[in-house]
Amino acid sequence: MTRPFDHFVVFAEMRTGSNFLEASLNEFDGITCHGELFNPHFIGQKDRTEYLGVTMTGREEDPLQLLDRLHGGADLQGFRFFHDHDPRVLARVLPDPRCAKIVLTRNPVESYISRKIAGRTGQWKLTDVKHQKAARINFDAAEFEAHVQELQAFQITLQRGLQTTGQTAFYIAYEDLGDVEVLNGLAAYLGVPARIEAPSAKLKKQNPAPIEDKVVNPDELETAIARLDRFNLTRTPAFEPRRGPMVPRFIAAAESALLFMPVAGGPTEAVADWLAALDWVDRAALQTGFTQKTLRRWKRSRPGHRSFTVLRHPLARAHAVFCDSVLMRGAEAVRGHLKRVHGVELPPPGRFEGWSPEAHRAAFGAFLAFLKAVLSGQTGLRVAPEWASQSAVLKGFAQFALPDAVLREDELQAGLATLPAGRTPAPRIVATPADVPHPLAEIADDGLEAAVREAYPRDFMEFGFDRWRG
């Protein structure tokens, strides 16, 4: 059987876990990874100046002769390549469809700090934890920004090279290096039939402490990250929509040890008002805008804290989003889709003269069809938080922390009373106002019920929602 590739390259950077990935690749029968063959300071590994019959002088004169040594033989052979390695090799392998591409990525903050620690301790690999060396480093914001820019530029080069030649790469994150199923999937991508039972045990993770414990100036790190994140510099392609924990949206009570984890499109305003009433304060006193670091600090300083989220019936949630985001605030991309695909003409934002319940029902039905399409990846639009399934949102929360309680909107007063935080008795929660321009009760029918079940089948299955009853 002909192999799909003649050789492979692992595109990575320093301190992204490429040594660990190489060790695991070499565990497979039929795969050989030769290290950093085109590192300007050595061939393959540190202090080696000759390999596969090629010296460093010979490699400098003609790097492609070393690349050609990887063809043929029983094993599929490859190497690791970083952004500062020989560009002549990149120009050869990137457009070559017979060269398999593996792209290894890691959080740039972690790779930067790991590189600085390794530079200070001189420990670039760890095979025995008894020999681990630890250090705290000074975070240099300007140096880190340059580090991120280098990573981004290389990732964009790779992405464009793959796109313009019609190729795909196998993307693997640092966090996946210990997942044997992912590693076996990589072998399948390479066309190698062998499988392994576990990742390589030769190398050990270095510096496992939290990021803030590895630097002497964590506040400067936080400031630099906030500035960079605003520009969305993490441009490594993601081919599967993942919901993050959305920590900045969380709302904490002013005094009580109670944290609300809102689901976009849910009764957020009503719950926020209830949280304020819980401590006899104005809404402005509620705590918002958390980062994961500041939220951990909040939790540590409040023993006995409780967190909760609120589920809303999918039909009610979709209708609230339709009225608020599409009819009231515009949502031009959605409006354009509804007009182009479904022939729906919507009134100008916030102007509903002559907008009948019948027209509203038809437009909402088209919006439900749009939700089904966008959640199935059948449109070019991103999945906004307010469209995402509630099950996906809760899975996103789990990346940081699961809520203590998952409450239902139709049982909210009773559910809130069970949370052991704040004063007793708990205040009454004010009912959410009816949607405008037409309340859901005025238009709900069997067709809309069926459409929302098609759009959110997982929510109905996981949470047991019944027919909406108003």
pLDDT in tens, 204-238: 455 556 777 778 887 887 787 776 654 444 443 33
Q: How many CB atoms lie within 10 A of CB 33?
A: 24
Count of beta carbons in the 10 Å neighbourhood of residue 23: 18
Residue 378 pLDDT > 90: no
| Distance (Å, whole) CA 249 – CA 284 | 15
Residue 29: inside a domain: yes
Q: Report the SS3 class of residue 380.
A: coil
For residue 149, is it within any domain?
yes
Nearest Cα to 246, choosing from 392, 31, 30? 392
Q: What's this model's pTM, rounded to 2 decimal places?
A: 0.54
Residue 67 — pLDDT band, cuts 50, 70, 90? very high
Can you give the pLDDT at residue 128? 41
pLDDT at 94 over 90: yes
Q: How far lies 397's CA from each of 250, 305, 359, 391, in Å?
A: 10, 17, 37, 10
Rounded CA gap, 283 and 245, in Å?
23
Mean pLDDT over residues 294-302, rounded?
95
Residue 201 has pLDDT above 80, yes or no: no
Does residue 308 sit within a domain? Answer: no
Residue tagged 């309680």 (tokens): 405
Question: 87 in a domain, yes or no?
Answer: yes
Return the CATH number at 116: 3.40.50
Render 211-260 in DSSP notation, one character per residue. Answer: GGGSBS-HHHHHHHHHHHHTTT---S--SS------GGG-EE-SSSSEEE
Could you tell me the two tokens for 428?
């009454």
433 in any annotated domain: no
* pLDDT for position 439: 95
Does 393 have pLDDT greater than 90? yes
Cα(459)–Cα(311) distance, rounded to whole angstroms?
A: 10
pLDDT tens digits, 130-180? 445 567 878 888 788 877 878 888 898 999 999 999 999 999 998 888 889
Look at residue 113 in the predicted model and tell me its pLDDT. Answer: 84
Task: Identify whether 201 is part of a domain.
Answer: yes
Share of the chain above pLDDT 70, in %: 89
Task: Answer yes or no: is 320 within a domain.
Answer: no
What are residue 104's DSSP bridge partners?
Answer: 172
Q: What is the span of the domain harbouring residue 84?
A: 7-229
Q: How many domains does the chain have?
A: 1
Q: How far apart are CA 464 and CA 470, in angstroms?
A: 17
Average pLDDT score over residue span 259-288: 95
pLDDT of residue 170: 97
Which pLDDT score is estimated for 238?
A: 31
pLDDT, average across residues 196-203: 79
Residue that has been written with the tokens 């950077």 in this structure: 13
Average pLDDT, rounded, for the chain? 87
Q: Tell me which of 333-337, 379-383, 432-436 is least confident.
A: 379-383
Residue among 194, 203, 202 nearest 75 (CA):
194
Residue 197 has pLDDT above 50, yes or no: yes
Q: Is residue 181 part of a domain?
A: yes
Distance from first CA to last CA of the chain, Å, rounded? 62
Q: Phi/psi at 422 (nearest 5 deg)?
A: 85, -170
Convert the pLDDT of each residue in 338-360 to its tens digit. 988 889 889 998 899 999 999 99
User: Which segment of 192-201, 256-265, 294-303 scores lowest on mean pLDDT?
Assistant: 192-201
At position 439, the amino acid (one-letter code) is: P
Query: How confident is residue 422, by pLDDT bands cut at 50, 70 and 90?
Result: low
